[in-house]
A and B are shown apart, each in its own frame.
Chain A
């Protein structure tokens, strides 16, 4: 992240001057999805329902892009074979 800009350096009318991929929203997360690849049938419903496009198909199996996953749990909820579980981001002390 660079230094905040003054009004003269901003483009007109509130245009987004950077790509939205620059804003890593993963740090909002309290729970993270963990995929059990033995149960996964690769039906892709999690990929379809993820509102943040944080589920990625790497050609062989489902992966989670933790830079953008906000931990909403929709993927775990939608998974028909319960292959995804939501686990705490940090261990409780």
Chain B
């Protein structure tokens, strides 16, 4: 990590040469995290490695809990967060699959844990490279899911995630998704805030929400506390399970507003923002063709669209940054005037459409004048997405618009026949 200094709006921001994993580890270092529990798995390994170096060097006060599996990593985070700590973990692919039981418990207990998910394909066959099948696996777990495009955004979003998770209106865990290897192992110069500025932004250490229960006269902290005992995660049958799930759904409704606020505050602090925090658009003002994508591929697609734009063709990009809760209404508004939408899914749903495609179609159904839609599955198991493929895709959907209908709703980019 080499550093140079640069002056930016409020703070002097250093330039740090890091890869995506190191950027996340650095963000966690600055975020006054009390407990980190993780098990190293490719391509997330560097996060845990780098962070354990910070711990060994005495640069953080964090309790680092090395565990024997991801199931235990998430369990330790649940315990720590229930005890009032700010907790962080990181995982990928099979690791996430192993911890998914506790992933549901974390959101059900409303514990604001932050997790970096360095996206990687799920087995079998074993593959260590990037696609979004692990993120889709935890889609309905009640976690907030953010997708980042580059290393700088990985750093920024990790810090933002703590603020979003711990907001009184939210109190839900957040997963920050960054593409394996494309971001996790790629060096980039990023701008970082001074430690005090991050601490300030987060309002210091975690502040625990207060709850009212029948047997205490006053509101008590939502945490395990021998002086004020509470029962976490007790049995909840048909009498109350439904109500508790509705609570989670209602909390999710507050998330987009909080994400937007945090995005604005971050811009005041750093000069950087990502669309409105929820969706980032490029060239959508007058677009007739829209491409929808998530994660690092957005960069490739944007550069192709830029070339088309220079030739005067009306093509735009919609990058979904907040995948859960999904911004259905906003997407519907943005896509209401286009002729065709090409949705890019970096995971496959055997016997179904891609998950992102289904969400996009749900956003469009209530429009009076619906655009054509196509699901493009690409990049599975780390397969490259080239500019030629994107251009080819755009040519295909232009042809669909000319014909006025879509044959083959699911298409593949880069598969051999």
Q: Which A residues are closer than 8 A to B by beta carbons?
A: 4-7, 10-20
Contact assessment for B247 and A12 in the assembled complex, using a CB-CB cutoff below 8 Å? yes
Whether a CB of chain A sits under 8 angstroms from the CB of B108 is yes
A56 to B213, CA, bound (A): 28
Q: Which B residues are closer than 8 A to A by beta carbons?
A: 108-111, 171, 209, 211-215, 222, 230-234, 236, 239-240, 243-244, 246-247, 250
16 extra A-B contacts, CB within 8 A, seeds A11-B211, A15-B222: A5-B240, A12-B171, A12-B222, A12-B247, A13-B109, A13-B171, A13-B222, A13-B232, A13-B247, A14-B232, A15-B211, A16-B213, A16-B234, A17-B214, A18-B214, A20-B234
Contact assessment for A14 and B108 in the assembled complex, using a CB-CB cutoff below 8 Å? yes
Contact assessment for B243 and A12 in the assembled complex, using a CB-CB cutoff below 8 Å? no
A20 to B234, CA, bound (A): 10
Query: Shortest CB–CB separation between residue B59 and chain A, in angstroms?
Result: 33
Query: Shortest CB–CB separation between residue A46 and chain B, in angstroms?
Result: 26
What are the residues of chain A within 8 A of B230 when measuring CB–CB? 15-16
Partner of B243 from the list A6, A15, A18, A20 (CB cut-off 8 Å) is: A6
What are the residues of chain A within 8 A of B209 when measuring CB–CB? 12
Give the nearest-CB partner of B231 in chain A: A16
Query: Shortest CB–CB separation between residue A37 and chain B, in angstroms?
Result: 35
What are the residues of chain B within 8 A of A6 when measuring CB–CB? 243
What are the residues of chain A within 8 A of B215 when measuring CB–CB? 18-19
What are the residues of chain A within 8 A of B212 when measuring CB–CB? 11
A2 to B302, CA, bound (A): 59
What are the residues of chain B within 8 A of A20 when measuring CB–CB? 231, 234
Contact assessment for A7 and B246 in the assembled complex, using a CB-CB cutoff below 8 Å? yes
Question: Known: A5-B243, A7-B243. Is A17-B110 also a contact (CB below 8 A)?
Answer: no
Query: Shortest CB–CB separation between residue B391 and chain A, in angstroms?
Result: 49
A26 to B336, CA, bound (A): 61
Contact assessment for A15 and B213 in the assembled complex, using a CB-CB cutoff below 8 Å? yes
A46 to B108, CA, bound (A): 37
Contact assessment for B231 and A7 in the assembled complex, using a CB-CB cutoff below 8 Å? no
Contact assessment for A14 and B233 in the assembled complex, using a CB-CB cutoff below 8 Å? yes
Q: List 8 A-B contacts (CB under 8 A).
A: A4-B240, A10-B247, A12-B171, A12-B211, A12-B247, A13-B110, A13-B247, A16-B231
Contact assessment for B214 and A15 in the assembled complex, using a CB-CB cutoff below 8 Å? no
What are the residues of chain A within 8 A of B222 when measuring CB–CB? 11-13, 15
